[in-house]
């Protein structure tokens, strides 16, 4: 190992890894900010589904209170599926996946970059959707506890979703396969996020009915960790 | 499934692995025959235990005897999916197709057992608690398991290309199984929030009389032997199918 | 006593499905054995030797 000189310090391995992740994520985000296909489309979808729930469930303001967590999280779940469907679409359409794979980077960096980009894009959608939901349902959805829950849920969703989106993207019936693979695995995420939101909307500062935040955090760690280990196996020739 | 007429290009199996195809249904049949006989004997013993030896439950009556088959199937399902998990890990590590065949087989058998578990639970719940379905923790968790492993089977169906399908399925097999305890925890926490009014499950009571426990053990052993028998037959089927694919490719290389 | 139909239905379904499954798998095994024999026949002796050298499966016969 060469001595780091005072003038040009040796970059740490972790540092350059993170830089690669950041660069890849930035590439995706820059692409998105130019075309705005994913965020705009998903956002409109979210608002539309909100309307659909209203038409289907026909709730008055008073009853809606009980249903808000469920409606919110189901909507986010399906919106996320849409966003994931597009996560690898660019690489597939333009055939840039091979180029990325040939680059001398750890493939897990590609995975983390996709997760990061997905979280950022979903957060952009949520930044608009949450205030709208809060207004429509007259519910304090912008409280810090709720925001934390939404972040944890989004991160967990992106972590598991990116792994399986990469898998599904290389198969025939990718649109059908992704929900089938992902949704059963995400049941604990849905339960945790919805119940936590429920507790918070009822007035608690943190979830009280069960350690939901710990559950969500644990899921994030589990999915991120497992995916980092397994992502390689998905992209082999 | 694969007949001599389909021509899907697949990679030839690894050299060392290719020798181990159990194309020999010959002498290995002895093991299988013994196992089959053992299974039948165990099943008969279990039937006796369930219907003659086990005491009649006070509250539910004879319907409660479904419990023995219901819980046994649950345990065997979990075992089957554990096998999928382990086989998936070893497959990704060693890339030996035999482990993938084991995973495939165990997943399918596991889905069969899980389906029967859910059906038996439903048929038990209806007379005892009045509903065909209850959202109690075990039933709910196992239902989610059912979805995960059905997705596993569908994944294999959607990806015919062999080493790829094995890898993808292995990823699902690993992530799915690791998710199980978390699914269970989340459902248990959720159910304690909104408990079913009549959810005094006999099997969760620590006061299971010893005769019932013994019967449960006998039933579980019987189903366990059945699982092993099914696994052996099923894995042989998978390996034979692998060999068919391999030979087909050899034929097409030769230009037929 | 009045719930015996459920008891019977459960055990009937369980046995039917399990033995049905065993039966189906056994039938599939027979079918694949047929295919294997056909394939090995088509490959002929020369190729069998080649396959054996390359480490093929049932070249030693089953």
**Domain span at B195:** 27-203+210-254
Where in chain C are the domains?
A: 19-56
CB contact under 8 A, C33 and B123: no
List pLDDT tens digits, range A68-81: 999 999 999 999 99
Distance, in Å, from the CA atom of B168 to the CA atom of A178, rounded to the nearest integer, reads 12
What confidence score (pLDDT) does residue C61 get? 39
List pLDDT tens digits, range B5-17: 444 444 444 433 3
Who wins on pLDDT, A47 or B126? A47
Would A4 be classed as within a structural domain?
no
Residues B152, B85 contacting (CB under 8 angstroms): no
Would A144 be classed as within a structural domain?
yes
Distance, in Å, from the CA atom of A215 to the CA atom of B70, rounded to the nearest integer, reads 29
Instruction: Name the band, by pLDDT with cuts 50, 70 and 90, for residue B27.
Output: very low
List pLDDT tens digits, range B141-197: 999 999 999 999 999 988 877 888 999 999 999 999 999 999 999 998 988 776 654
Closest partner residue to B176 among A185, A195, A211, by Cβ?
A: A185
- Asked if pLDDT for residue B1 goes beyond 50, the answer is no
Would A5 be classed as within a structural domain?
no
A positions 176-195 inside 8 Å of B (CB): 177, 180-181, 183-185, 187-188, 191-192, 195
Shortest alpha-carbon distance between residue B193 and chain C (Å): 31
Shortest alpha-carbon distance between residue B30 and chain A (Å): 38
What confidence score (pLDDT) does residue A6 get? 53
Distance set, CA B150 to CA A186, B50, B86, B132, C21 (Å): 15, 30, 18, 22, 16
Would B16 be classed as within a structural domain?
no
- Asked if pLDDT for residue B210 goes beyond 60, the answer is yes
Would A43 be classed as within a structural domain?
yes
φ, ψ (nearest 5 deg) of residue B139: -65, -45
Chain A adjacent subunits, 3+ CB pairs under 8 A: B
Mean pLDDT to the nearest integer, B94-104 = 92
Contacts of B26 in chain C (CB under 8 A): 62
CB proximity B52 to A under 8 Å: no
For helices A61-85 and A37-57, angle between their N-to-C axes, nearest 10 degrees: 150
Closest partner residue to C13 among B119, B240, B256, by Cβ?
A: B119
Instruction: Name the band, by pLDDT with cuts 50, 70 and 90, for residue B28.
Output: low
In angstroms, the first-to-last Cα distance of chain C is: 54
| pLDDT tens digit at each of 62 positions of chain C | 567 888 888 999 999 999 899 889 988 988 998 888 888 888 765 555 555 555 544 433 33
Instruction: Name the band, by pLDDT with cuts 50, 70 and 90, for residue B202.
Output: very low
Contacts of A184 in chain B (CB under 8 A): 144, 147-148, 151, 176
Distance set, CA B145 to CA A84, A168, B77 (Å): 23, 20, 9
CB contact under 8 A, C13 and B24: no
Instruction: Name the band, by pLDDT with cuts 50, 70 and 90, for residue B112.
Output: very high
What confidence score (pLDDT) does residue B60 get? 75
What confidence score (pLDDT) does residue B200 get? 43
**Domain span at A230:** 14-235
Distance, in Å, from the CA atom of C11 to the CA atom of C9, rounded to the nearest integer, reads 6
What confidence score (pLDDT) does residue C60 get? 39
Contacts of C33 in chain B (CB under 8 A): 25, 240
Q: Would the ipTM clear 0.95, i.e. be above it?
A: no
| pLDDT tens digit at each of 237 positions of chain A | 445 445 555 667 888 888 888 888 888 888 888 878 888 999 999 999 999 998 888 877 777 788 899 999 999 999 999 999 888 877 776 667 667 777 777 788 889 999 999 999 999 999 999 999 998 888 888 999 999 999 999 999 999 999 999 998 888 888 889 999 999 999 999 999 999 999 999 888 888 888 999 999 999 999 999 999 999 888 876
For helices B210-254 and B66-94, angle between their N-to-C axes, nearest 10 degrees: 40
Would A202 be classed as within a structural domain?
yes
How many domains is chain B built from?
1
Q: Is C2 exposed, middle or buried (0-12, 13-18, 19+ CB in 10 A)?
A: exposed
CB proximity B154 to A under 8 Å: yes
Residue B64 makes CB contacts below 8 A (sequence gap 6+) with B56, B57, B124, B128, B202
Which residue, among A9, A222, A27, has the nearest Cα to A109 in the 3D structure? A27
Mutant choice from B240, B241, B242 vs C, greatest count of C C-beta within 10 A: B240
List pLDDT tens digits, range A139-175: 888 999 999 999 999 999 999 999 999 998 888 888 8
What confidence score (pLDDT) does residue B13 get? 46
Chain C adjacent subunits, 3+ CB pairs under 8 A: B
Which residue, among B255, B238, B4, has the nearest Cα to C38 in the 3D structure? B4
Would A77 be classed as within a structural domain?
yes
Distance set, CA A156 to CA A118, A214, A220, A224, B61 (Å): 11, 12, 4, 8, 46
**Other residues' Cβ atoms within 10 Å of the Cβ of residue B175:** 22
List pLDDT tens digits, range A38-51: 889 999 999 999 99
Helix, coil or strand: residue B235? helix
Would B44 be classed as within a structural domain?
yes
Which residue, among C52, A164, C12, A43, has the nearest Cα to B47 in the 3D structure? C12
Would B47 be classed as within a structural domain?
yes
Contacts of A209 in chain B (CB under 8 A): 189, 193
Shortest alpha-carbon distance between residue A2 and chain B (Å): 34
Closest partner residue to B250 among C4, C22, C47, by Cβ?
A: C47
Distance set, CA B93 to CA A230, A231, A237, B96, B145 (Å): 11, 14, 16, 8, 24
What confidence score (pLDDT) does residue A205 get? 84
């Amino acid at each position: 190992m060469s001595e780091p000189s005072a003038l040009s310090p040796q970059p740490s391995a972790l540092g350059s890894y993170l830089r690669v992740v950041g660069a890849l994520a930035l590439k995706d985000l820059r692409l998105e900010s130019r075309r705005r296909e994913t965020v705009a489309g998903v956002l409109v979808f979210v608002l539309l589904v909100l309307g659909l729930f209203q038409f289907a469930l026909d709730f008055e303001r008073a009853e809606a209170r009980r249903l808000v967590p469920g409606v919110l999280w189901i909507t986010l779940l399906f919106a996320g599926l849409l966003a994931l469907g597009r996560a690898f679409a660019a690489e597939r359409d333009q055939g840039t996946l091979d180029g990325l794979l040939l680059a001398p980077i750890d493939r897990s960096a590609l995975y983390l970059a996709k997760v990061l980009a997905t979280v950022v894009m979903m957060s952009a959608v949520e930044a608009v959707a949450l205030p709208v939901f809060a207004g429509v349902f007259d519910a304090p959805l912008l409280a810090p506890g709720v925001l934390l829950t939404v972040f944890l849920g989004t991160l967990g969703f992106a972590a598991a979703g990116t792994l399986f989106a990469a898998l599904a993207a290389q198969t025939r019936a990718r649109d059908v396969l992704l929900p089938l693979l992902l949704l059963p695995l995400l049941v604990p995420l849905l339960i945790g996020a919805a119940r936590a939101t429920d507790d918070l909307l009822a007035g608690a500062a943190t979830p009280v009915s069960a350690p939901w935040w710990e559950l969500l955090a644990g899921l994030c760690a589990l999915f991120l960790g497992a995916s980092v280990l397994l992502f390689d196996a998905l992209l082999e020739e | 499934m694969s007949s001599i007429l389909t021509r899907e290009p697949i990679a030839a199996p690894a050299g060392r692995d290719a020798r181990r195809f159990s194309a020999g249904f010959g002498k290995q049949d002895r093991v299988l025959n013994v196992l089959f006989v053992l299974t039948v004997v165990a099943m008969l013993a279990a039937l006796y235990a369930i219907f003659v030896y086990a005491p009649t439950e006070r509250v539910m009556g004879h319907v409660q005897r479904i419990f023995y088959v219901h819980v046994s199937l649950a345990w065997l399902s979990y075992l089957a999916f554990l096998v999928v998990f382990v086989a998936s890990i070893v497959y990704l590590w060693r890339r030996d197709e035999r482990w993938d065949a084991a995973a495939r087989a165990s997943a399918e058998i596991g889905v069969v057992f899980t389906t029967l578990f859910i059906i038996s639970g439903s048929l038990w719940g209806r007379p005892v608690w009045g509903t065909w379905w209850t959202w109690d923790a075990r039933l709910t968790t196992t239902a989610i398991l059912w979805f995960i492993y059905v997705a596993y089977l569908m994944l294999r169906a959607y990806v015919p290309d062999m080493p790829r399908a094995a890898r993808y399925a292995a990823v699902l097999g690993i992530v799915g199984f690791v998710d199980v305890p978390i699914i269970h925890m989340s459902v248990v926490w959720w159910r304690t929030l909104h408990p079913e009014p009549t959810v005094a499950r006999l099997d969760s009571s620590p006061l299971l009389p010893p005769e019932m426990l013994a019967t449960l053990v006998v039933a579980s052993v019987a189903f366990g032997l059945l699982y092993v028998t099914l696994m052996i037959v099923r894995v042989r089927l998978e390996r034979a199918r692998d060999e068919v694919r391999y030979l087909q490719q050899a034929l097409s290389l030769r230009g037929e | 006593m009045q719930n015996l139909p459920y008891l019977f239905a459960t055990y009937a379904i369980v046995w039917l499905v399990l033995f049905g499954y065993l039966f189906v798998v056994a039938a599939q095994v027979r079918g694949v054995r047929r295919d294997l024999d056909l394939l090995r026949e088509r490959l002929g002796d020369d190729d069998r030797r080649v396959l054996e050298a390359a480490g093929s499966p049932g070249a030693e016969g089953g």
